[in-house]
Structure 1
Amino acid sequence: MISSFYTSATGAINLQSGFDVTANNIANVSTVGYKPSSASFADLIYTNIHAAAGENSQLKSGHGTKVEKTDTLFTQGSPKQTGRNLDYALVNPNNYFAVRSNGEVKYTRNGSFHLSVEDDGSYLASSDGGYVLDAQGNRIAMESEEDTPAIGVFSVKNEDGLVRTGNTCFQLSDLSGPATAVTDPEIKKSYLEDSAVDVADQMTSVIELQRAFQFNSKMVQVSDEIMQTVNSLR
């Protein structure tokens, strides 16, 4: 009966991690260029019951569940017209703007930019203050918001290999491969890409996680009641 406590508690704790992923998606339903995450669960090790050493049996006892991985869903959001000169939306999937911040280059589909006025001029900057880069990896100097900057657009071989850093930014990894500048990229000016979060899908996920959490909580309650009954018989 002790194992039932551990099994149900493990399930409840890991389901809470699934709730956190879904809650973060819902919180970013209005975030420009946001890509939702999806938590995948896996069963923990099973124990063979009434089986000889080293052999499998038809009767097995599980030990709960765990969050196996969290994937980013690179679904493209819908373009939304803003009428603002420094808003840009990428038309093709697997295309990203490059932003340099604190010496690191990150990649994003959030094209809500502004001008950063400095002593040596004005530069195109991202919403978090990083420098937007051109195809050669240099800062983009601008005199006014009416200019038409040559914004660099990049792609990677394996989009699933990108590592999320923040809500809308990604970094390269060995799995993603290097970023390659796109020739003649298609960019829509005065548009932004909406969040790719589907509220209906997220609410379905909430219901599924809630039912599983209630089931594990009920297991804890039943196990506790049985233990109390057994202890009262002593």
Structure 2
Amino acid sequence: MLRSMYSGISGMRGFQTKLDVIGNNIANVNTVGFKKGRVMFQDILSQNVQGAGAPTDGGKGGTNPTQIGLGSSIASIDTVFSAGSPMTTNLPTDLSIEGDAFFMVTPDDGATIYYTRAGNFTRDSQGFLVNPQGLKLLNSDAAPIQINQADGIVSYSIGKDGVITTVDEAGTLASDNTVGVMTFNNPGGLKKVGNSLYENTVNAGARDEDPMTPVTPGTAKVSVIAGQLEMSNVDLSEEFTEMIVAQRGFQANSRIITTSDSVLEELVNLKR
């Protein structure tokens, strides 16, 4: 009796977490570079009522174990790194990545590095390419990218290989900078730190972690597209379906508690 109540509580707790994740996904349906989450469940250790029995020499067959499950728990909350839909903006500082890689940004000229799929960069007053929080975009040498008008640069463009080509007042072309990106063996191991940023962890498996070596776009099936942004990979129809499943699951588990309570009430009333 009490087992069923605790199982129902564990189920309600799990589906509440699932609704929390779905709510966050839907809230970020228009967030640039956002990657949706998903909740995976697992059963809790079962109580053994009777162990398994082996066949006997007298011809009697074996018996299976008898177990009662004790509910469910959260196995993992994964980040799904499937590609989001592209949105064309035609702004030269808007960048998106084709392939499994991340832009590198820093608040302190490379001493600390964060990773992101959000490519909505702008140029600040010193010509540095920065994200909305002011973090500087890094090149393939892990140094901040600067395109400074004080150097006489008239225009610039960013190719699919990440190379930044500049044109000065004399019409001279220069290609001194390349947008750097980082790849990971396990992107799901990255830690979200807010503002569409990720932090490296011991289970992410960054490429050549000591020292960390950026990937040059155009290699390893990674390309940088200028004038385009990668939008959220949240599918509203999928999220609404999962919301219904989570809602019904929560209701069903609450009904288990109500039913168990009714049976306990009947047992208490037997003495009357």
TM-score, with structure 1 as normaliser? 0.87
Residue 141, structure 1, aligned to residue 169, structure 2: no
Partner residue, 1:60: 67
Give the RMSD, CA atoms, in angstroms: 2.2
For residues 197 and 95 of structure 2, what CA distance do their matches in structure 1 show?
A: 16
**Ranges in structure 2 where 5+ consecutive residues have no aligned partner:** 53-62, 158-163, 165-177, 208-212
Query: 1:184 and 1:201 mapped to 2: Cα distance?
Result: 32
- Match for residue 183 of structure 2? 155
| Amino acid across the alignment from 2:46 | Y
Quote the residue 1:181 is aligned against.
214
Which range is displaced more, 78-87 or 218-227?
A: 78-87
> Match for residue 49 of structure 1?
49
The total of aligned residue pairs comes to: 227
- In the TM superposition, what is the alpha-carbon distance from 1:196 to its structure 2 partner? 0.9
Where do 4+ consecutive residues of structure 1 move more than 3 Å?
144-150
1:95 matches 2:101: yes
Distance 2:225 2:205 in 1: 27
Q: Give the whole-Å Cα distance in 2 for the aligned partners of 1:184 and 1:73.
A: 23
Q: 1:109 aligns with which of 117, 125, 130?
A: 117
1:70 and 1:79 map into 2 onto residues whose CA distance is 26
Unaligned runs of 5+ in 1: none
The residue type paired with residue 181 of structure 1 is P
Tell me if structure 1 keeps the 8 A contact 2:26–2:234: yes
One-letter code aligned to 2:147:
M
Distance in 1 (CA, whole Å) between partners of 2:242 and 2:45 is 25
Match status 1:206 vs 2:243: yes
Which one has the largest radius of gyration?
2
Q: Does 1:76 align with 2:83?
A: yes
Counting only pairs closer than 5 Å after superposition, residues 10-21 of structure 1 correspond to structure 2 as 10-21=10-21
Cα distance in 2 for residues equivalent to 1:69 and 1:167: 22
**8 Å Cα contact 2:120/2:229 also seen in 1:** yes
SS at match of 1:178: coil
Tell whether the 8 Å contact from 2:182 to 2:206 is kept in structure 1 after alignment.
no
Q: Name 1:225's counterpart in structure 2.
A: 262
> Is 1:34–1:167's contact at 8 Å kept on the other side of the alignment?
no
AA paired with 1:35? K
